[in-house]
Amino acid sequence: MKNNTDNCNGKMPSLRTFDFEKNVGGGTAVKCSRPMEKQLGRVSCLDTPCLVLDLDMLEGNLQKMQAVAKHAGKNLRPHAKTHKCSALARLQIEAGAIGVCVAKVSEAERLAKAGLANILITGPVVTQQKLGRLLAVRQTMPSLMLVVDHGDSVDWLSASMQAAGLTMDVLLDVDVGLKRSGVLPSDIPALAERVRSRPNLRLRGIQAYAGHVQHLRPYHERRTDSLQCLQQAVPIFRELKATIPTCDIFSASGTGTFDIDIAVPEVTELQVGSYVCMDTEYRGIGSAVDAAQFTAFAPALRVLTTVVSANHRGFVTVDAGLKSLYRDGGVPQVFAPPDAGLTYDWFGDEYGRITYSDPGAAPALGTVLELIPSHCDPTINLFDRFHLVREDSMIGEWPIDLRGCSQ
């Protein structure tokens, strides 16, 4: 693929040990209505706006994160909230992940329906409706785990499981500074005791997610802060592990700190999400080897967009706006055509503006551009499918079957 090396500093591994064509669970063949054009890549027979996953890059990303985790002696439990796709979750597990994370019960429902197991729900469940749905998933998935961060919800969860004659594995959600969910480290012993007092809840360990440091620049500041966060949870985990035989999970980390958090011996698994497809927000945070860029993972995710109006000098209008590129985390970047000095900015719900400084680089009416989204998670959630491409071929598509699962 002509642009890979340009955009990845030539550092991307190309291991290709997976057989993606055999493993693309939901993949289906795509017929093009006209001959494949290669002007701007192999995907110009796709209508736009649409989401494209570059399988070479995806493969490299999966392999690299798995290799890093394995080398560090950590398990990988990637976050499916990023990609919202059971076929991709299955691929992560086949590549070596011990399971996946989800943020919401409705996401777990869809993954269970797709036949996946070993799912950790990383957010608290506190209402009767949600407990009912959780119970239904648990009935088909003994390996389901859930975090808890409040004594009341421990009681509600226990009562719900007791009524069904089931047990549930739980992690204590430790608030190491994000302040979004979790209990402060000082309150963990009481919460642990609350869980232990319930015979139908099994305490499996802790979750300590430092979400607030994932996008910190520069790298060394991020490193310092992430390690400080995790150190708050280390003595807690040691204590729990020493006294509770079932307590052996320390789930933590994210794409921004994966190579930092592996240095904490107590951490047992990494909850990384965005690495699988990446976005411009993550690519700009800097890394251990490059203060300006974070290029460990390749931008496998692209939004294709078409020039639909070209009546001005200096810019054209494309057909991807707020509803195709989630407005968060900066602005999307133009991936193809490369090196043409094109920049994207939002231009309303349905449109974007592509600015050029060189008149010779002005994209003509009907031209298809490839953009790297600024924030991958909510952008993926705007679409129903990934189109899968490798080099000059379209392989098929995966349904984004967790799309819209916000409950």
Q: Which residues bind its own copies (CB under 8 A)?
A: 33-34, 45, 47-50, 81, 103-104, 123-130, 132-133, 149-150, 152-153, 175, 179-184, 187, 211, 306-312, 317, 319-320, 322-324, 326-328, 347-351, 353, 365-366, 375, 377-378, 381-384, 403-404, 406-407
Residue 376's contacts (CB-CB under 8 Å, 6 or more residues apart) are 82, 274, 277, 278, 279, 282, 301
Residue (of 201, 200, 183, 203) closest to 192 by Cα position: 203
SS3 for 244?
coil
Specify the residue, 92 or 317, whose C-beta has the smaller distance to its own copies: 317
265/348 with CB nearer its own copies: 348
Retrieve residue 186's tokens.
């000082």
191 contacts 148 by C-beta, under 8 angstroms: yes
Q: How far is the CB of 215 from its own copies (least distance, A)?
A: 11
Rounded to the nearest whole angstrom, what is the least distance from the CB of residue 137 to its own copies in the complex? 14
CB 260 within 8 A of CB 226: yes
Cβ contacts of 71 within 8 Å, gap of 6 or more: none
Least distance from its own copies to the Cβ atom of residue 13, Å:
28
Our CB check for its own copies shows the closer of 87 and 325 to be 325
Please say which residue, 180 or 220, places its beta carbon nearer to its own copies: 180
CB nearer its own copies, residue 12 or residue 277 = 277
**Alpha-carbon distance 270 to 66, whole Å?**
10
What are the φ and ψ backbone dihedral angles of 323, each rounded to 5 degrees?
-80, -5
Tell me if residue 222 falls in helix, strand or coil. helix
User: CB of 116: closest distance to its own copies in angstroms?
Assistant: 19
CB of 398 to its own copies, least distance (A): 15
The answer to whether the CB of 317 falls within 8 A of the CB of 347 is yes
- Taking the C-alpha atoms of residue 262 and residue 208, their distance in angstroms, rounded to an integer, is 13
Triad 135, 167, 74: Cα angle to 5° = 95
- Block residue for tokens 């009767």: 128
Nearest residue (CB) to its own copies, 375 versus 390: 375
Query: Between residues 104 and 222, which has the closer beta carbon with respect to its own copies?
Result: 104
Minimum distance, C-beta of residue 234 to its own copies, in the bound complex (Å): 20
End-to-end CA distance of the chain: 39
* Closer CB to its own copies, 12 or 304, in the complex: 304
Q: Give Rg (Cα) of the chain.
A: 22
